Each structure stands twice: as structure tokens, then as C-alpha cells.
Amino acid sequence: MTAFLTADADRPVFLDSYPTSYFCPPATRAGPACARAPSSSSLPPSAPPVGFDDKPTQQGIHGYPPVADGFVAHDAWRIKASSAVIDGEIVVPAADGTTDFSVLQNELKGKSTKIVLVAFDLLYLNGRDLRKLPLIQRKGELKKILIGTDVQFSERFEIEGREMFAHACKLGLEGVVSKVRDGSYPKGRTSDWVKKTCIQRETLTIAGFALDEGKWDGIYVGRLKGDDLIYAGKVDHGFDKASAADLQKRLKPLIRKTQPYTKRIAHKGIWVEPKLLAEIEYRAKSAEGKVRHPFFRGLREDL
């Protein structure tokens, strides 16, 4: 999300101006010429356009009042500039520093002081176009105008790509964005900006399965903590007709009336005895431990 601050407006205005290059195909960039930053779960660039009026409506950004009228806008007014266009994202950080898009969505529904604007680039400053300047210079100017505000500056790390990526995945982050440090602000897709997403694997317990009008619709999984089975999400990708039919055949003899989870969930499903284990691939976990973008890789019959 790009925030526009002008001295002539009554309040900051937020523009929907994401470079599509931010979502380049996953790749690993190596060498000292790349500046890297952690990737987070944030307001998606695919959100509807926002319009840039100097009198924002009461609906706020994308219909969410807290963004336009609350914490983020209040911070933007403290930026040390008469006008600026900043490229950044809004996130809701957890205590461990990770972010969860589902939590952000919930925060956007009401008044919130948990939403944070993370700024990572500066396009214009006091009427001057900075887009052709090197990234490292733009970030230097950005850092200066954010001093004394609660807007978080996205730091850069000039280290080997594989090392940075390994650390990001170990910490449970979504991934890493690598940018050429002396590159200009790009238009369209470019290899100068590369996003690589972490892929994690975990063996989880199958707690049930779902059918949609009689057709296979995935499995519910859980994570054992002592004697408790904690809900870990629904997995509906990674199945073909053969694997879905085989798994349903194996689960039918295990059907039970009640949920096997220690704490009931609101979802409707066909619940089973927690006997079978599944190998699940996913990008990240939410603050509650639910897997994000899960993919079924098969049963763990060796355990």
C-alpha cells in the first residue's frame, strides 16, 4: 500500500500503487548487490483501487475506517515532510515479530491500535521524483523522514541470499524480498525485485474430512500438544481423484460423532478418530498455529 501525505490535504490519503514486480516468481538471488528484507502477511496488492481525494470518505480505505481515520493515518501526519509518497504495507505484528493476514483482516473490521505501517521505499519527497535514484539512496531518505514516528522502517540486510532465506524460514516468516540495491523504482515485472516464499513441512494428525455436495473437499488437521489435539487448519489442496478416494476409504472406518479436538471449532465436518498422520506442506503458521496455504503431500504410514 502506498501512503500519500500532503500539506494541502486534511489528512493523509492512501493510494493503491503497488509494483507488480513485488510478486515475481520465486527465486534465490545471491551476491552483495542485493538488499534483502523479510516478507510479511499484509494488506494484499490485489485489493480494489482506493482513489486519491484530499477529502477521504467515512468509508476509509477499502471500506475499513481504522486505516484512514485511525492509528496509521495519525502516524503519517508525523512524517517529516511537506509531501511524500511512501511504498509500504499495513500489518498486525505478533509478539514474536511474525504477521498473520487473518488477524489483520479482523483488526480492520473495528477500531484498532495494533495496525502498523511498515515503509520500505520512498517514491516522491517534497514534490521531487526519487524513483530513478538508487534504492539504497531512496531508503536513506525514507529513514530520515520516519524518525520520531511509529511507522516502522523496513531495514535492509546485505548478506548472502541463501543464508537470509534460511534464517527467515527458521523464524516462521513468510519469506524474503531481494532487490538490487542500486536499482531504480521499477515499472511492471522485473528481475530486480524477487520474492522467495518459505516452504515448511510438518506431520499433522487428521481429525476429519469435508464433503461439498458429496464431493471431496479436503481434510481437517490437528497438532498434538501432550494429550490435547489442537486445530491446525483445513487442507484442501494436493489431492487428485485417486488420492482423495483412497483417503476417504481409509477414513470411513474411523468416523465418530464428535470432534476429536480438545477445543471445539465452528467448522462442519465428518470427524474421525485421530489415527492417521498426514505430511503437510505450507508457507507459514498463524499466531494460533493454523497452517497457511497448506498442501497435502501424503500419509505418513512409517510413523
Q: Is 92 found in the same domain as 13? A: yes
Q: Is 284 found in the same domain as 212? A: yes
Domain boundary among 171, 197, 223: 197
Q: Is 279 found in the same domain as 206? A: yes
Number of domains in the chain: 2
CB distance 144 to 84 below 8 Å: no
Identify the band that residue 114 occupies on the pLDDT scale cut at 50, 70 and 90: confident
Q: Is 122 found in the same domain as 31? A: yes
Q: Is 264 found in the same domain as 152? A: no
pLDDT digits (tens, 9 = 90+) for 181-217: 899 988 777 788 888 888 888 999 999 999 999 999 9
Range of the domain at 238: 200-299
Domain boundary among 165, 197, 229: 197
Nearest partner of 143 among 164, 116, 125, 168, judged by Cα? 125
- Identity (one letter) of the amino acid at 8? D
pLDDT digits (tens, 9 = 90+) for 241-289: 999 999 999 999 999 999 999 999 999 999 999 999 999 999 878 878 8
Percent of the chain surpassing pLDDT 90: 38
pLDDT of 74: 59
CB distance 80 to 145 below 8 Å: yes
Q: In which order are the strands placed within the sheet that holds 175-180?
A: 34-39, 175-180, 193-197
Domain boundary among 181, 197, 213: 197
Nearest partner of 206 among 274, 291, 282, 301, judged by Cα? 274
Q: Is 272 found in the same domain as 170? A: no
Nearest partner of 2 among 101, 119, 80, judged by Cα? 119
Q: Is 51 found in the same domain as 7? A: yes
Q: Give mean pLDDT, residues 115-144.
A: 92
pLDDT digits (tens, 9 = 90+) for 69-83: 455 555 666 788 888
Q: Give mean pLDDT, residues 133-156.
A: 91
Q: Which residues, in sequence order, are CB contacts of 3 under 8 Å at separation 6+?
A: 12, 13, 14, 15, 72, 76, 84, 85, 86, 88, 117, 119
pLDDT digits (tens, 9 = 90+) for 84-107: 888 888 777 776 666 665 566 666
Q: 113-130 burial, b for 16+ CB within 10 Å, e for fewer?
A: eebbbbbbbbbbbeeeeb
Q: Is 78 found in the same domain as 135? A: yes
Q: Is 207 found in the same domain as 138? A: no
Q: What cell numbers appear for 270 in the block?
A: 465428518
Handedness of CA 168, 295, 285, 43 (dihedral sign): positive
Q: Is 8 found in the same domain as 142? A: yes
Q: Are strands 291-292 and 228-235 parallel, antiparallel or unpaired?
A: unpaired
Residue of 41 and 213 predicted with greater confidence: 213
Residue 14: is its pLDDT beyond 90?
Answer: no
Residue 36 CB coordination number (10 Å) = 24
Q: Is 184 found in the same domain as 128? A: yes
Q: Is 95 found in the same domain as 11? A: yes
Q: What cell numbers appear for 225 in the block?
A: 500438544
Q: Give the residue carrying C-alpha cell 470432534.
A: 259
* Strand, coil or helix: 102: helix
Report how far Cα 176 is from the mean position of its chain's Cα atoms: 11
